[in-house]
Amino acid sequence: MLQQSEPGGHPPPAVLRRSRAEDLPAIATVDGRGFGFHYRDEDIEAFRPLFEPDRFLLAEDDGRIVGVTGSFPFDVTLPGGATLPAPGVTWVSVAVTHRRRGILRALMEEQHRGFVTDGSAVSLLTASEGSIYGRFGYGITTLHRSVEITRRRATFRPGTPDPGGVREIDTTEARQLFPEIHRRWVATVPGALSRSDTWWDNVLLDREWQRNGGTALFHLVHADGYASYRIDQGERTCRVVDMVTVTEEAHAALWRVLLAMDLLETVTVWSHPLDDPLQYLLTDPRQVRTTGIRDGMWARVLDVPAALSARRYAAEVDVVLDVHDPFLDRGGRFRLRGGPDGAECVRVDVGGPTVSVEVAALGQLLFGGERATTLARAGLLATEDETALHSVDLAFQAECLPQHGTGF
């Protein structure tokens, strides 16, 4: 329940209810005010196909919506290739007139209780501020970097493949070809999120306000990859906004085209994987300049046995994890036995080498985005058994760094 107001303090608390289809314009007003912009009517209607009213929870005060949280249905890939259905928390905002009196906490409690009831093993979000979601059990799962490349100085190393096979296509053809390539990419990358048909329609709507002074999207496709970009004529820049490659041939082929655009000075990528090999295809790796590193997706484990037994492990591991979850009380002691071929995880009372871990840190470990030894140095994971720590450290590493690939 929402906290009660103190005598002489805040107005009465808000009440929570599920949203209805007709709430969307009012929800957009709360969200727009929260983030500091006005939604136009056509933007609200463009969002409607993605809006599933019963996935949105509202806080109302005196009949007026003063708080919102929603979720999108995704499938997320785990290390080893299995997927889990996972709600992606979104549209979180509380009216500026009603902040810091527990409305977000009440919305989060109700929403996450619903996720547990629905049987979700993990929930996901992207955060506007880094200090909000740790208390709700979320830990940073993907990092990405923005890069800038001065095109004329970016020379491919002799021996870098030049496979060709890239075509320029329009948005209609992109809509036909990209989803299948994206599905293949999602299957191989831990943390990657599925995109539904509705999501693809929305991505490729390419609304004016998303362009930030750039052109409408241009698209390149290869049999095993694609890139969507816009040109900023003023800055003489190509801005890559969405790119996935399933093979190294597609990666080299698309980058050769992106770096071949005469008349442009720079190519920028907002969300470049930390372990992308592009810089090593060039004679001067420094030409892929990192201009920022940001957290991307955060994850929260809701069902420890279901989440941990679904992934694969880089090395054999047999350990008891003592999970600490003050927000939802989904923690306890769990024995994990796993390896490259499979895993099982069950609740136990006692036994075995034990590693204590905050539930937020478990979300980080789950996708292989952070090493157990790093989390231990930060005090988010603890053990008196160095061998157990080493074993967890090795086992939870993933085949590549996690990427989520879809903002939400």
Ligand X SMILES: CC(C)(COP(=O)(O)OP(=O)(O)OC[C@H]1O[C@@H](n2cnc3c(N)ncnc32)[C@H](O)[C@@H]1OP(=O)(O)O)[C@@H](O)C(=O)NCCC(=O)NCCS
Active site residues: 133, 408
What is the maximum span of the chain, computed from C-alpha positions, in angstroms? 75
- The binding track of 18-57 with respect to ligand X, each residue x by CB under 6 A or -, is ----------------xx----------------------
Which amino acid does the sequence have at 103?
I
- Answer yes or no: is 68 a known binding residue: no
The answer to whether 348 and 334 have CB atoms below 8 angstroms apart is yes
Choice from 104, 357, 360, 388 touching ligand X (CB under 6 A)? 104
The answer to whether 116 and 137 have CB atoms below 8 angstroms apart is no
Task: With CB under 6 A as the rule, give the number of residues binding ligand X.
Answer: 18
Q: What is the rounded CA–CA span in Å between residue 194 and residue 141?
A: 16
Report the residue number, 47 or 200, with the smaller CB distance to ligand X: 47
Q: What is the dihedral of CA 175, 151, 233, 148, to 10 degrees?
A: 80
Report the residue number, 109 or 265, with the smaller CB distance to ligand X: 109
Is 93 a residue that touches ligand X (CB under 6 A)?
yes
- The binding track of 235-274 with respect to ligand X, each residue x by CB under 6 A or -, is ----------------------------------------
Is 128 a residue that touches ligand X (CB under 6 A)?
yes
CA distance readout (Å), 380 to 243, 295, 359, 394: 34, 18, 9, 17
DSSP lists the bridge partners of residue 18 as 57
Choice from 99, 184, 330, 371 touching ligand X (CB under 6 A)? 99
Residue 236 phi, psi (nearest 5): 50, 50
Report the residue number, 14 or 314, with the smaller CB distance to ligand X: 14
Q: What is the rounded CA–CA span in Å between residue 150 and residue 72?
A: 37
Report the residue number, 93 or 356, with the smaller CB distance to ligand X: 93
Is 102 a residue that touches ligand X (CB under 6 A)?
yes
Q: Count H helices, E strands: the chain?
A: 10, 19
| Residue ranges of the binding site for acetyl-CoA | 92-94, 100-105, 128-129
Q: Which residues bind ligand X (CB under 6 A)?
A: 34-35, 92-94, 99-105, 127-129, 131-132, 135
